[in-house]
Amino acid sequence: MRDGDFRVRGKEISRIEGLSDAVFGFAITLLAISLEVPKTSHEVLHALRGVGSFAITFLILFNMWRMQFTYFRRYGIEDTKVVVLTAILLFVLLVFIYPLKFIMSTLWTTFLAKTFLPDPSFHRSDVLPLSDINPLFTAFGFGFAAVFLVFSAMYRHAYKLREELQLDEVEIFDTLEFIRASTIVSFIGLGIGVTYAIGMIVPSVADASAIGGTVVVFVVFALLMRMRRTRKRRREVVKERMRAGAEA
């Protein structure tokens, strides 16, 4: 069985993967628009205001789950290192989920307030005082970085076992590309965390550090997009080389 150009090695759901699915499901529950059933139409309409922020956070979390799912399908590794890394990933995820939900909800509500659907009961200065911005974004940035650093470590482990797993050239290429991409994404989180941490420690440079962090995020994101554009072309070269070698 193959997943595109990748041979499927993990065909059965392991206990560690089952635990991961349960934790991701619990985290999605924590993201819910409202944990209580609305009792009036006003409460329903108020809850629906959070659909946008829920969609964003859900997609982020779903993408993380998909990356882990793909890892287990492609490599089928269940050794001690993978178990430890998975435990770290789930721990970070459960710590990271509240800053993620709060920041996205606040940004989305602020966006609505500045556009066409203001909420008279929402005052950003009450919900998110200026003194709390730096600590919250520091936690968000470091949590985001930690998640992708764990993914990078998991794929590095698979790469070290490439001979045992009998990875072909395309599979090795895809593994190395994911390591590079996840490492770059982790730098986005580190850029956010470090710059806001500087602003928290030295309040006088808080604005400058926030601007610097934004610049870092855009530079790293541009680098990631450039890698994505060139990846397909380089991958085709690897496939052609592997095909030529098989025909020789």
Decide which of 81, 106, 122 is a domain's last residue.
122
pLDDT digit string (tens) for the chain, length 248 residues: 555 678 888 877 788 888 898 988 888 887 776 556 666 766 666 666 777 778 888 888 898 899 999 999 899 898 999 999 999 999 998 888 888 887 777 777 777 766 666 665 555 555 566 667 778 888 888 988 999 999 999 999 999 999 999 998 889 988 998 998 899 888 888 888 888 888 777 766 656 655 665 666 666 667 667 666 777 777 777 777 777 766 65
Decide which of 122, 157, 182 is a domain's last residue.
122
Same domain for 139 and 79, yes or no, is no
Per DSSP, the residues of 27-93 read HHHHT-S-SS---SHHHHHHHHTTHHHHHHHHHHHHHHHHHHHHHHHHH---SHHHHHHHHHHHHHH
Question: Where is 3: in which H helix or E strand?
Answer: strand 2-3
Q: Is residue 35 part of a domain?
A: yes
Report CA-CA distances (Å) from 192 to 33, 95, 111, 136, 220.
26, 17, 20, 11, 11
In this prediction the pTM is 0.79
Decide which of 103, 122, 141 is a domain's last residue.
122
Question: Is 216:173 a contact under the CB 8 Å cutoff?
Answer: no
Domain holding 79, by residue range, is 9-122
Q: Is residue 247 part of a domain?
A: no
Backbone φ and ψ of 3, nearest 5° = -110, 90
Q: Is residue 248 part of a domain?
A: no
Backbone φ and ψ of 161, nearest 5° = -95, 20
Domains: count for the chain = 2
Q: Is residue 1 part of a domain?
A: no
Backbone φ and ψ of 7, nearest 5° = -75, 135
Same domain for 53 and 78, yes or no, is yes
Same domain for 155 and 100, yes or no, is no
